Each structure stands twice: as C-alpha cells, then as structure tokens.
Amino acid sequence: MTHPLCYDAGRDRYVEVTWNEAFAKIGKVLQSLPRDSAVFYSSGHAGLEASFLYALLARVYGNNNLPQSSNMCHETTSVGLQKVVGSPVGTIVWDDLEKADAFFFFGQNPGSNSPRFLHPLQEAKKRGARIVTFNPVVEQGLVSFVNPQSPVDMLTGRETQISDEYLQVQAGGDIAAILGLCKVVIEADDDALARGLKRIIDVDFISEHTMGFETFIACVRQTSWSDIEQESGLTEAAIRRAGEIYIGAERVIGVYGMGLTQHSQGSVNVAMVVNLLLLRGNIGREGAGCCPVRGHSNVQGQRTVGIAEKTKLIPMDKLKQLFDFDPPTEDGVTIVDAVKGLMAGKIRGFVSLGGNLVRAVPDQKAMEQAWAAQELTVVVSTKLNRTHLFPGKNAYILPCLSRAEIDEQATGNQTVTTEDSFSHISGSIGKRTPASKHLKSELAIVVGIAKATLDSNPRRKWDEWLGDYGLVRDLIEATYPKEFKDYNARMFKPGGFYRGNAAHERIWKTEQGKAIFTAPKRLNALSFGNTDGRFRLVTMRSNDQFNTTIYGYSDRFRGIEGTRDVLLMCEEDMAVSDLKARQIVTLVSDFEDGIRRELPGLVVTAHNLPRGTIGAYYPEANVLNAIDHYDELSKTPASKAIPVRIEA
Ligand SMILES: Nc1nc2c(c(=O)[nH]1)N[C@H]1C(S)=C(S)[C@@H](COP(=O)(O)OP(=O)(O)OC[C@H]3O[C@@H](n4cnc5c(=O)[nH]c(N)nc54)[C@H](O)[C@@H]3O)O[C@H]1N2
Ligand SMILES: Nc1nc2c(c(=O)[nH]1)N[C@H]1C(S)=C(S)[C@@H](COP(=O)(O)OP(=O)(O)OC[C@H]3O[C@@H](n4cnc5c(=O)[nH]c(N)nc54)[C@H](O)[C@@H]3O)O[C@H]1N2
Ligand SMILES: [Mo]
C-alpha cells in the first residue's frame, strides 16, 4: 500500500485518492454524525505522540469512544489488577527478573509470544531459580529453551529446562488451582504456628498493607481438596509440589497472560494471583511482584496517555485548560459495547488506528455485516487485512509509515516513544527509507483528520505539533507532569525511563487504600457448567502468526504443520467421543442463546491436553464466540473457554 485508498462501490474496488481528498471527506462525514455514534479505535501500535493527539481528536470531536485492543486482551488487568492493588499495569521492573527465586507462569506462552522473556528465564534457571507453569497446553518454550544467541547452546543443542513443575490445569481451572496453592501455604503456616516456628505467611505485611484476609482464609479453609481437584483437573499431590516451591522461595514473580485474562471470571483469576502473592508479601519488594505480559508494542503506553473510554482515568481539567474545550463527560464504549452498538445500528462511523477489528472480535459473521453497514470506515494500516474487505458507505484505507521507517517532518527526522510492560518509556528513530514517499506517519494522519473535522482554535496547533513531535511530548508532560517529568531529555536513556508504579512502592491506589484479598465466589472462571458433550475451547496462537496476521502454516513448537484447520484434543476425549485422528468435524458453539455458530472443516488431531479442554486457532475460531461472553468486570471477551460441541 502506497497511497490512500477509497472504496468505489460502482466498480467494487478501492481506488487511489489524494490525502487531501481523503481527509476532507472523512471530516465531512464525521461532522454529519451524532457525536456518540462515531468510534476511534486503536490497536496498540501507534507511539505515545500520535496516541495522545488521537485521544484529543476524539474528545474535541465530542466523545470518549476510545476503545483499544486491550479491551480484548489485558483490560482484565487494567480493571481487575487496579481493583486489588491499585495498579492497572504490572508491578515489577525488568531488574526484578534478575532477583526472583521463583516464577509462577499462568496462561502465558513466552516461547511464541514474548521470546525476549526466555533470556532472563534461562539466566534465572542458571542461578537456581525455580519455575512453575500452569497451562492446559504443554508449550515447548516453557518446557525447555535453546538460546539462539548462545553459540555453545546452538552448536551443542544444549537445552535449559525451564519449568520445574508443569501443571496441565483445565481451561478455566486456575481459580481452584491457585486456591489450592494458597491452601498449601495456610496449612504450612498453621503447622509453623503450632510448632512455634517462623511463620510462613507475612503477618506484618498482611496486617499493615492488606484487607480481606480473614474472609479469604475462611474461604480457603472451607474449600475441600476434592473440589479443588475436580475444578482444576489437577491432583492434590501436584498442587502440593508447586506450593512447596512457592513457600521455599523468598522472592516470587507471578506472570500471566491471556490464559487468565480471557475468561468470564478473568478478573477473579487475576485477583487469585494477587492473593497468592500477598500471602507472603510478594508485591512491592525487590525480585517479587505481578507481571502481566502485554501484547502490542505500545498497548500499555496508549492507555497511559489518554486512549481510554473511562472518563475517570483522564485528567479532563488539564485537557480543558491546555486545549480550550469542554471535554465530554460520559464514558465511551469498550470493544464489546462498540460491537454491540454496531450490530444495533447505533455506531455509524469507525476510525481504526491500526488493527484488524472485524477479524479480532467474537461473533465475526455478524460483525462483518454490521461493520459494512456504517456510513464511514477508516482504517489506518501498514498492511492489507480482512477488515478492509467490508467497506462502509464511505470507506478509506490510509497507509502509514511503520516505526522502522524514517519519519521526516518540518524540523527533521522525528522520534517516536513507546512504553513497555515494565512501565519504561523509550524513544526510537526510524532508520529505513519509507516504502513510498506518499506514506504518512500516524501522527500526520491523526492531524489530517483532526484539521478536517474540528473547528480551528489557537490553542490547538496541529501543524506546529506535526512539525516537531517534541512539542507533543511537552503537551504529554504538561498533562501528566509526574510520570513524564523531563520527558524529552530522558527518553534516550538506555532502557528508557521509568514512569513509576505506586504498587511497586507499596502504595495502594485502590478504593480502600490497601491491597485487597479476594474470596472467589466460584472455583472456575467459566460462565457455563459441564454438560454431556460440551467442551471448553481454547483459542490459540502459533509462533507463525501475529494476532490476525498469519505468516505461515508451521506451528513448529507444537509440531502442527501445513494447516491451521485443526481441532486439538487428547486421545481419551477422542475415544470417548468416538472420533478418529484426521477425521473432519464441525465445531458448534454451545451457548444457550439459540444462535448457531459453526466452524466446519477441522481435522481432528491428537494433542497433549487435559480432558474436556480442546484447542483451535485464533482468529479462525472467532466465528464461534459470542459477543456477550466476556469477563464480568472488564468486558474482555472470554476467548479461552468457549463452550462448544463437536459434530462429526
Ligand atoms: N508470535 C506472536 N507473538 C505475539 C502475538 C502473536 O499473535 N504471535 N500476540 C501478541 C499479543 S496482542 C498478546 S496479548 C500476547 C499474547 O500472549 P499470551 O498471553 O501468551 O497469549 P496466548 O498465546 O493467547 O495464550 C497464552 C497461554 O494461555 C494458555 N491457556 C489457555 N487457557 C488457559 C487457562 O484457562 N488457564 C491457563 N493457566 N492457561 C491457559 C494457552 O495454552 C497459552 O499457552 O502475545 C503478543 N505476542
Ligand atoms: N479468539 C480470540 N480472539 C482474540 C484473541 C485471542 O487470543 N483469541 N486475542 C485478542 C488480542 S490479545 C488482541 S490484542 C486482539 C488484536 O486485535 P487487533 O489489534 O485489532 O489486530 P492485529 O491483528 O494485531 O492488527 C493487525 C493489523 O494492524 C495493522 N498494523 C500493524 N502494525 C501497524 C502500525 O505500526 N501502525 C498501524 N496504524 N497499523 C499497523 C496492520 O494493517 C495489520 O493488518 O485480538 C483479540 N482477539
Ligand atoms: Mo493482545
């Protein structure tokens, strides 16, 4: 893609247009729409500068409709972790990885999805740290690791064993599993108390810093091992072994990903990890803490600089004062709200800063129709994708520079900054010659749309900002003075600068001012029960894809080659369901809403999974999920346990 494209319905194709034509028309349509019927989505790619201006564009336009890809991802963290420790992001910094004695991995797959993580893990193992994994799928990167950057490892094929204990919890079974770990801790503490030995739980920390301990402990004591085994799919003995590792470690980091966040009770999953850590004071201390691993390169940073649908997260007074407008006071839409709004015909225009939303959301079939019924679809993209195939009445594809490309503006080549999972902010300057001289930067596109859509105002100096991104960083600093102090000066420090995290300092910005123990109301993270023939479908990523972009058909870590149209299940489930390897089947969703959702043509493939849990690839399996199936607290779609049946 080298030029902006506009969909020509008469010829059923996209045709090249000039940037000015595109901006003018987009501005005109946006102006004609009711303010609450337009949405400004972003997918976590764009840097902090473009993101800040994008959020400003939406708010001056008149709404907080700023959903983001993390609404499908770590919103469970933004809301759930915030609720219990007062931090919407991880509490550790990179250096903590070098100091931990044990890592507990829950539903995160570093081998495929965050390979940089494998290096500190390998180092950790070398110094004797222990690693415990909870995952229904045996993921190679969590079993062992050959360091591609180590010539000795590569020549000898020498592997480092990663997990000391690998617990194949059933999908949605983590609440029970973690409760079991806590039970081991409490029992050991009872024993220590009875024998007059050093306590196992951190009594001082718990009394000074936490709330809800008694209720939680009562819940742990009341829950029987047989219920824990039943709901987790794990044996008491296995959980005890893992619990002993937890007790034996002075400093523990709890790592988690989509395996916890994408469930109906995803926020409770997150709160359970926090419960476990709090018991021994493993938050806000060197080498210990909570580590949600983020996806897109700037997905966390976009939230930091104002891409958020929740008004309470935004310093509206500052925005009002800096930019001379009355910020909208109503909360905007999440992704789930937006999709439902689309389906109901209430959302009429959509601007996407990156992403492939039609492909990424549940109920994909209905979404395709609803998307194309809009007055306006604008997708700012680096590559073509399926969303482009469903043009609205006015439809634009706006091709942008990628971060690796040189971004030259009036004052010279520009720097773009991003924030990583450890709250570090750093700058980068593109080095590659752009693929085409017609491409614009994301910031330039945001400015183009803003100027064509909004009234002019001397306080909104879009052209000046475009000429020098450093001025935008000054605005970010003015809006968030604490986090971004001396922003322009500090962004090139190696590793970036740390914007700080209160929970890391044991300051709890929760409603109660304390870290919160949560007693779970149920032992699994599901919104449905077990019935005959119903399975829990996990939607999986391979190393050969980045979200909706499929690069190839080799899932080499799992040994699945040549196709993605597979249904993975264990041999026992195959036998009980009377299915043979290589048989072709259809997956049908098993919600109780009367809608038939199906995915035909899957090849039954034996895989090492627990009973009752089966796997298929994301995004293909998105046709099976229902838009109303999401984490209760944060509305993150529950993509990791979709109730399904198999039709032979
Ligand atoms: N190569 C590659 N890298 C990526 C991406 C990609 O698509 N490809 N995507 C990026 C993005 S946006 C994100 S958010 C991250 C995602 O990275 P991850 O958080 O690792 O996400 P997934 O691979 O979807 O799921 C993680 C693991 O959860 C396990 N799991 C499923 N259900 C459960 C459960 O109920 N309990 C437990 N304990 N485990 C469960 C799965 O088997 C899987 O190993 O990766 C980022 N990096
Ligand atoms: N069933 C199921 N559904 C899921 C998930 C799951 O595990 N299972 N995972 C969810 C998760 S974690 C996420 S994050 C979402 C992902 O949802 P999205 O973020 O919407 O999807 P992506 O596939 O990451 O978007 C890829 C597109 O972004 C564009 N792009 C890439 N780089 C850039 C850039 O630098 N700038 C711009 N402007 N555009 C760029 C390209 O055009 C590319 O086609 O999907 C969610 N959906
Ligand atoms: Mo993600």
- Please tell me the total count of domains within the chain: 3
> Ligand 1 in contact with 172 (CB < 6 A)?
yes
> Ligand 1 in contact with 108 (CB < 6 A)?
yes
Q: State the Cα–Cα distance between residues 146 and 137, nearest whole angstrom.
A: 20
231 and 113 part of one domain: yes
Residue 382 domain-assigned (yes or no): yes
Ligand 2 atom with the shortest distance to the CA of 540: 7
pLDDT over 90 (residue 501) = yes
- Span from the CA of 128 to the centroid of ligand 3 (angstroms): 31
Residue nearest to atom 44 of ligand 1 (CA): 109
Q: State the Cα–Cα distance between residues 112 and 131, nearest whole angstrom.
A: 18
61 and 87 part of one domain: no
- Span from the CA of 29 to the centroid of ligand 2 (angstroms): 26
64 and 93 part of one domain: no
Mean pLDDT of 296-318: 95
Banded model confidence at residue 266, pLDDT cuts 50, 70, 90: very high
Residue 315 domain-assigned (yes or no): yes
Residue owning tokens 């415990």: 132
239 and 353 part of one domain: no
- Span from the CA of 113 to the centroid of ligand 1 (angstroms): 7
Residue nearest to atom 4 of ligand 1 (CA): 113
Residue 422 domain-assigned (yes or no): no
Mean pLDDT of 42-50: 96
Residue nearest to atom 11 of ligand 1 (CA): 295
Banded model confidence at residue 341, pLDDT cuts 50, 70, 90: very high
Q: State the Cα–Cα distance between residues 617 and 567, nearest whole angstrom.
A: 8
> Ligand 1 in contact with 546 (CB < 6 A)?
yes
Ligand 1 atom with the shortest distance to the CA of 114: 47
Mean pLDDT of 572-591: 98
- Span from the CA of 296 to the centroid of ligand 2 (angstroms): 8
Ligand 2 atom with the shortest distance to the CA of 403: 35
* pLDDT top residue among 228 and 422: 228
At residue 349's C-alpha, the angle toward residues 596 and 51, to 5°, is 110
Banded model confidence at residue 583, pLDDT cuts 50, 70, 90: very high
- Span from the CA of 356 to the centroid of ligand 2 (angstroms): 5
pLDDT at position 177, please? 98
pLDDT at position 218, please? 98
210 and 238 part of one domain: yes
| Contact call for residues 245 and 102 (beta carbons, < 8 A) | yes
pLDDT over 90 (residue 487) = yes
224 and 332 part of one domain: no
476 and 608 part of one domain: no
pLDDT over 80 (residue 148) = no
Mean pLDDT of 27-51: 97
158 and 64 part of one domain: no
Mean pLDDT of 109-129: 93
pLDDT at position 618, please? 98
Banded model confidence at residue 156, pLDDT cuts 50, 70, 90: confident
Q: State the Cα–Cα distance between residues 443 and 430, nearest whole angstrom.
A: 14
Phi, psi of 379 (to 5 degrees): -125, 115
Nearest ligand by distance to the CA of 176: 1
Banded model confidence at residue 155, pLDDT cuts 50, 70, 90: confident
- Exposed, middle or buried: residue 207 (CB in 10 Å: 0-12, 13-18, 19+)? exposed
Q: Which helix (H) or strand (E) holds 20?
A: helix 19-32
- Span from the CA of 549 to the centroid of ligand 3 (angstroms): 13
Nearest ligand by distance to the CA of 258: 1
**Domain end position, chosen among 252, 272, 293:** 293
202 and 312 part of one domain: no
Candidate of 113, 381, 428, 446 to mutate for ligand 2, largest count of ligand atoms within 8 Å of Cβ = 381
- Exposed, middle or buried: residue 514 (CB in 10 Å: 0-12, 13-18, 19+)? middle
> Ligand 1 in contact with 120 (CB < 6 A)?
no
pLDDT at position 152, please? 74
Quick one: tokens of 449? 């749309």
In what side-by-side order are the strands of the sheet with 13-16? 13-16, 5-8, 394-399, 376-381, 349-353, 38-42
- Span from the CA of 71 to the centroid of ligand 2 (angstroms): 12
Residue 519 domain-assigned (yes or no): no
Q: State the Cα–Cα distance between residues 158 and 152, nearest whole angstrom.
A: 8
Banded model confidence at residue 153, pLDDT cuts 50, 70, 90: confident
Mean pLDDT of 349-362: 98
Range of 241's domain?
A: 75-293
Mean pLDDT of 434-462: 97
pLDDT over 80 (residue 292) = yes
Ligand 1 atom with the shortest distance to the CA of 549: 7
Mean pLDDT of 503-531: 97
Mean pLDDT of 605-630: 98
- Span from the CA of 92 to the centroid of ligand 2 (angstroms): 26
* Whole-number average pLDDT of the chain: 96
* pLDDT top residue among 295 and 178: 178
Nearest ligand by distance to the CA of 138: 1
274 and 304 part of one domain: no
Banded model confidence at residue 1, pLDDT cuts 50, 70, 90: confident
pLDDT at position 644, please? 98
Residue 437 domain-assigned (yes or no): yes
Kind of pairing between the strands at 554-555 and 566-569: unpaired
Residue nearest to atom 25 of ligand 2 (CA): 355
pLDDT above 70 as % of the chain: 100
**Domain end position, chosen among 486, 501, 520:** 486
pLDDT at position 159, please? 82
| Contact call for residues 309 and 330 (beta carbons, < 8 A) | no
Residues with beta carbon < 5 A to ion ligand 3?
A: 73, 295
pLDDT over 90 (residue 492) = no
pLDDT at position 363, please? 97
308 and 350 part of one domain: yes
Quick one: tokens of 426? 């750093």
Largest CA distance in the chain: 84
Mean pLDDT of 613-621: 98
Residue 425 domain-assigned (yes or no): no
Residue 612 domain-assigned (yes or no): yes
Mean pLDDT of 542-564: 95
* pLDDT top residue among 540 and 156: 540
Residue 346 domain-assigned (yes or no): yes
pLDDT at position 135, please? 98
* CATH number assigned to the domain comprising residue 243: 3.40.228.10
pLDDT at position 494, please? 85
pLDDT tens digits for range 521-539: 999 999 999 999 999 999 9
Quick one: tokens of 193? 């108390």
pLDDT over 90 (residue 448) = yes
Banded model confidence at residue 151, pLDDT cuts 50, 70, 90: confident
Q: pTM of the full predicted structure?
A: 0.97
> Ligand 1 in contact with 292 (CB < 6 A)?
no
* CATH number assigned to the domain comprising residue 553: 2.40.40.20
Nearest ligand by distance to the CA of 541: 1
pLDDT tens digits for range 167-215: 999 999 999 999 999 999 999 999 999 999 999 999 999 999 999 999 9
82 and 202 part of one domain: yes
- Span from the CA of 293 to the centroid of ligand 3 (angstroms): 9
Ligand 2 pocket, residues with Cβ under 6 angstroms: 43-46, 69, 72-73, 258, 262, 295, 353-357, 360, 380-383, 385, 400, 402-403, 442, 539, 547-549, 618-619, 621-622, 625, 639
Ligand 2 atom with the shortest distance to the CA of 621: 1
* CATH number assigned to the domain comprising residue 27: 3.40.50.740
> Ligand 1 in contact with 113 (CB < 6 A)?
yes
pLDDT over 90 (residue 147) = no
pLDDT tens digits for range 3-13: 999 999 999 99
> Ligand 1 in contact with 249 (CB < 6 A)?
no
Q: Which of 310-324, 427-441, 490-504, 598-612 has the lowest mean pLDDT?
A: 490-504
pLDDT at position 150, please? 75
Candidate of 382, 390, 635 to mutate for ligand 2, largest count of ligand atoms within 8 Å of Cβ = 382
pLDDT at position 10, please? 96
**Domain end position, chosen among 264, 293, 322:** 293
